[in-house]
A = this chain, B = another copy of it.
Amino acid sequence: MPPASSRPRPTLLDVAAAAGVSKSLVSLALRGDAGVSERTRERILVVADQLGYRPSLTARTLKQGRSMLLGAVISSLDNPYHTEIVAAVEQAAEAAGFSVVLAHGSRERGRLAGRVQQLLDLGVDGLVVVSSWVPEEVLVTAARRAPVVMVGRTATPVAGIDSVNNDDEQGAALVVDHLVASGHRRIAHVTSSTRPAGIARRSGYEAAMRAAGLGAEVRVVRPEPAALDALVQDGTTAVFARNDVEAVDVLDHALDVGRRVPADLAVVGYDDTMLARRARPALTTVQQQRDVMGTRAVALLRERLDGRTDDVHEVLEPRLVVRASA
């Protein structure tokens, strides 16, 4: 007996032969075409099932020119923010009848470009990019082959590519306003980011500080031990970190040097990932509407597939989630 896995899979023709009909009829019956009698369909379904028939998506895709497959690209698998977005995209895609294949690039530009190419070669009908590391020219080239939507912001809008992201400036303002309302004045911003979202959060922080009359207190610091040490000792009472990961670093450092959070130092993050819930004390943070982002990303792709040609950039409102750290 040959190895089980080399047994050739049954085709439409096998089912047709076993059911004593033509293969066109099998195809029609399987997809529930109205012009097939109930009894015939029934019989064909039973035969197909007995044979363990599964339609070849490869053949169908070749014929239809559509794969019903969406590609999702993320920088790396180890950032909960990105994987949580992808989960939302998958859910929305599934609801729309698409499957999602996932690719990541270990945060390397070259790898990411390669993965985009690979997904395109695989025949995806559209691409969701959840990474600011994909080079712009790669996005532009990709968009000539299939619609592309960016989740999260690029430095400047890329022609031909839709986007959906949250309003980082407003998110930063929510944080600053919350801290000010709690009586803080010496509020520092911790960031190591050169990415567009990081830059937006930083400028949102600065604008909100000025708006609160605290322009003189603006202080931006990198999440490094020496800088954090200085910060803890110079009278800073609150820290807004550019994301949950860096907020947790601040948290750990503060506790290490004997500061209490939030009594001595209030700490706020961004993204509302699982890190925020797991942190101790639990992290006050900014939540993006992940489900909506996923739904809108898929919807934008479908509109492109239906022929839309003008670019759409959607901006969603974030909201503050107050927990124990601030």
Contact = CB atoms under 8 A, between A and B. Distances in A.
Contact of A5 (B106, B123, B145): B145
Nearest to A6: B307
Given A58-B58, A62-B56, A4 B144 contact: yes
Given A87-B106, A252-B280, A59 B56 contact: no
Contacts of A6: 307
Interface string A91-113: 00000000101111010000000
A54 interface: yes
A146 B9 CA distance: 10
Interface string A47-85: 000001011111101100001010000000110100100
Task: Please classify the interface of chain A as helix (H, G, I), strand (E, B), loop, or mixed, using the class held by over half of its residues.
Answer: mixed
Nearest to A141: B52
Contacts of A120: 54
A147 to B, nearest CB: 5
B121 A54 contact: yes
A98 to B, nearest CB: 11
Contacts of A104: 102
Contacts of A256: 280
Contacts of A59: 62
Nearest to A125: B5
Interface in A234-270: 252, 256
A146 B5 contact: yes
B5 A122 contact: no
A143 interface: yes
A160 interface: yes
A58 B66 CA distance: 11
A200 to B, nearest CB: 26
Contacts of A83: 77-78
A103 B106 contact: no
Contacts of A77: 77, 83, 86-87
Q: How big is chain A's contact interface, by range?
A: 35 or more
Interface in A123-161: 123, 143-147, 160
Nearest to A248: B278
Nearest to A104: B102
A4 B102 contact: no
Contacts of A3: 304, 307-309
Contacts of A39: none
A118 interface: yes
Nearest to A307: B3
Contacts of A55: 121
Given A83-B78, A144-B4, A304-B5, A58 B67 contact: yes
A122 B57 contact: yes
Contacts of A57: 121-123
A7 interface: yes
A75 to B, nearest CB: 13
A274 interface: yes
Given A4-B143, A86-B77, A118 B99 contact: yes
A83 B77 CA distance: 7
